[in-house]
Amino acid sequence: MKKYLCLLIIILFSCNNNDENKIAIVIHGGAGIILKENISKSKEDSIIKKLDEAISKGWRLLKKGESSELAVIETIKILEDSPLFNAGKGSVFNSNGKVEHDASIMRGNDLNAGASSGTSNIKNPITLAADIMNHSEHVFLSGKGAEKFAKERNLEIVDNEYFHTEFRYNQLINKKNENKYGTVGCVAIDINGNIVAGTSTGGMTNKKWGRIGDSAIIGSGTYANNNTCGISSTGSGEYFIRTVAAYHVSSLLDYNNYNLNNAMSKVIHEKIGEIGGDGGMIGIDKNSNISMEFNTPGMYRAFVNKNEEKEILLYEK
Ligand code: ASP
């Protein structure tokens, strides 16, 4: 009897240990011409501080046993509320001098997803994407319809002016996409092995004609499947759409036995790079391995891996 009791305790202990080890989270704040010599020390410090705040928030939630969905939403909200990134508050201007957001989220256990594009008054577009996933019969809402839905869901509505920053306005005036691309994204795996990925952006400076980027498109900017991985992208959206980038990575794991590193490297450097696209992506696979890949000089990124090691990086290593 005593022997069986000991065995049971050992099994319970090792199960618990495995569960603890599964938690992992990774974020990006955009890829682009991010060079140490072009960024002031104080801006560098602010970016590192904000990435730290965001990743720590998500990690703490996962550690408490909360879902990866909550961790991804809360982490992205912190980045959206900061003027430092091209999402929410710090978004770029379109050609009409207006800010328009794209966002998406996907859950890996049931392949449910939500996405929105072309909204201009939702304070935290990631919460709209999540509400579309959880509280509508649709996956993708755009423009006025998406804003109407957000109002019905009592999401925080703000005037477009709230998103106006001088830094981004100057980029529009000078037709510059400096430090492109500042989109934000997060992928997390929780104690139950559930993977969720989310992405939020203002898109590209000077975008025209209701342009929609990859960040709003499930399979391009965002994808999650518990059997393979979760991915969030940043970069020249048109190329990520044409290569179905996020789903492409998942498919390489699913059908071709790639590991996450190799799959992301193939998509970023071969599939996207070879047709002229640039940018990067972050991902977590079903075994909680993290990968971050980009073909630009830098990508704002941070992670806490399954060994509880935290890293915050801005430039090429
Ligand atoms: N991928 C985004 C877009 O094309 C831009 C970015 O990553 O900053 O809209």
- List Cβ neighbours of 37 (8 Å cut-off, separation of 6 or more): none
Mutate to test the pocket of ligand 1, among 171, 181, 205 (most ligand atoms within 8 A of CB): 181
- List Cβ neighbours of 297 (8 Å cut-off, separation of 6 or more): 32, 33, 34, 35, 315, 316
Q: Per the residue annotation, which of 183, 199, 222, 243 is the catalytic one? A: 183
- 176 vs 197: CA distance, rounded Å: 29
Residues 140-194: tens digit of each pLDDT: 999 999 999 999 999 999 999 999 999 898 888 887 655 567 899 999 999 999 9
Name the residue with the closest Cα to ligand 1, atom 9: 203
- % of the chain surpassing 90 pLDDT: 84
- Tokens matching residue 165: 């920053």
Classify 128 in phi/psi space as left (phi over 0), alpha (psi -120 to 50) or beta. Answer: alpha
Which residues sit with their C-beta closer than 6 Å to ligand 1? Answer: 30, 86, 181-183, 201, 203-204, 213-215, 234-235, 237
Label residue 8 by pLDDT band (50, 70, 90).
very low
183 is catalytic: yes
* pLDDT, position 228: 98
Mutate to test the pocket of ligand 1, among 91, 214, 240 (most ligand atoms within 8 A of CB): 214
* pLDDT, position 181: 73
* d(CA 65, ligand 1 centre) in Å: 32
What are the phi and psi torsion angles at 248 (to 5°)? -55, -45
SS3 52: helix
Chain position carrying tokens 């994808």:
223
* pLDDT, position 217: 98
- Taken in order of first residue, the domains within the chain and their CATH numbers are 26-315 (3.60.20.30)
Label residue 21 by pLDDT band (50, 70, 90).
low
Q: Is the peptide bond before 4 cis (omega within 30 degrees of 0)?
A: no
Residues 217-228: tens digit of each pLDDT: 999 999 999 999
* d(CA 60, ligand 1 centre) in Å: 28
Residues 254-280: tens digit of each pLDDT: 999 999 999 999 999 999 999 999 999
Residues 85-112: tens digit of each pLDDT: 999 999 999 999 999 999 999 999 999 9
The model scores a pTM over 0.85: yes
* pLDDT, position 36: 84
- Tokens matching residue 264: 């992301």
Q: Which residue has the higher pLDDT, 286 or 175?
A: 286
CB neighbourhood size of 52 (10 A): 13
Q: Which string of DSSP letters, residue by residue, matches 112-137?
A: -EEEEEEESSBS-HHHHHHHHHHHSS
Which atom of ligand 1 has the smallest separation from the CA of 202? 9
